[in-house]
Amino acid sequence: MPMRKPINLNSVVLLLALALVPGCKKEEAPAPAPAPNQPHPAPAPTPAPPVQQQMSSVAKASGVPSFKKDPFKPVIVPATPAPTSTAAGPSVSPAADLLPIQSFEVSKFKVSGIIAGMRENRALLIDPNGKGYVVQVGMQVGNANGRVTRITPSAVEIVEKGAGRGKGRTIVLTLAKKR
């Protein structure tokens, strides 16, 4: 007598669930009865159903709430300032165009580490808030339009341009000695 395979309990439950679930039926709501003594309006032409349902976030804005987040919607909406017309030209706030590394004086930075020996030397500068920045020659540092001009194994040299034609001032930030 051949050995019978045991019946899988999961398949039995699945078959019972499929047998008990009623088929999908399209239920139509009953049409409201027309009010007496009113003329019957002409039936409005029904628009053709779309070939494909629109899935963008624009379609969701039609009043139907959605609990899914739109991954392409910006988290912070930038406020657009009102344009001001001046005779000299458009005024741009200087703080808006600055990087975070350009919001402190150069002398406030500390050199935490220097990587030397590669094609270009790089240095790790720490701002007064404790945030670190990796800089290399040519990068802007500080709020007085300073540029990194040289990185040695023990120091970082930054030149701040003056307002006039002068050479400006040179600031040397040295690497702290090991204790």
Burial class of residue 163, CB neighbours in 10 A (0-12, 13-18, 19+): exposed
Q: Any idea where the domains of the chain sit in the sequence? A: 99-174
Q: What is the pLDDT of residues 145-174, one digit of tens each?
A: 899 999 999 999 999 987 666 678 899 999
Helices then strands, counting H and E runs in the chain, come out as 3, 7
Contact status, residue 170 vs residue 158, Cβ threshold 8 Å: yes
The predicted structure's pLDDT at residue 130 = 92
pTM recorded for the entire structure: 0.46
**pLDDT tens string for the chain (179 positions)?**
666 667 777 777 777 777 776 665 555 666 666 555 656 666 777 777 666 665 655 555 555 556 777 788 877 777 776 665 555 544 445 556 778 888 899 999 999 999 988 788 999 999 999 999 999 999 999 988 899 999 999 999 999 987 666 678 899 999 887 76
CATH-assigned architecture of domain 99-174? Roll (2.30)
